[in-house]
Structure 1
Amino acid sequence: MKIDNTSDQKLDRFASVESHVAHQDIVINDLSDMVADQWKAIDEMKKQIERLKGRLQSVEESMERPLVGEKPPPHY
């Protein structure tokens, strides 16, 4: 009988380990999906930053050029 009890304990422990591994597999897959989604978001943000940098640069360049026919202020 003692052998059966030990066998039952081993089976219970094995089932517990299987359960934990299955749970960890689900968690790993969920985390992998989250990381993939975050990379997509980061890529979109990088593209948006590049667009904004271009817009800012064009605004800065337009501010550096004096308007044609613009007279200097009277204090000059």
Structure 2
Amino acid sequence: MSHSSLDSQAERIARLEEHVAHQAQTIEELSDQLAEQWRVVEQVRSKLDRLTERFLALEEGSLDAPAITRPPHY
């Protein structure tokens, strides 16, 4: 192999290694973002569960609705 061919291959390998390094960094950033979003989803799910429980408790407490009567001005 000629000297220029070796230089060309070395440059190509260097570009590929740089590309792989950028991809690895991007994958790490995406993984971090996904983990953060999962934490947020879990927090929202927990809040929704608590709100659902409160709503159901309030709904149970309001089952005895007052009877419909005529307003006093009739």
Using the size of structure 2 for normalisation, the TM-score is: 0.85
Moved over 6 A (4+): none
Count of residue pairs the alignment pairs up: 71
1:13 Cα offset (Å): 0.1
Q: What TM-score, normalized to structure 1?
A: 0.83
The percent identity for this pair of structures is 30
- Match of 2:40, as an amino acid? A
CA RMSD for the aligned pairs? Answer: 1.9
Structure 2 alignment gaps of length 5 or more: none
Report what 2:37 is aligned to: 38
Q: Which amino acid aligns with 2:60?
A: E
What code does the residue aligned with 1:73 have?
A: T
Unpaired runs of 5+ residues, structure 1, are: none
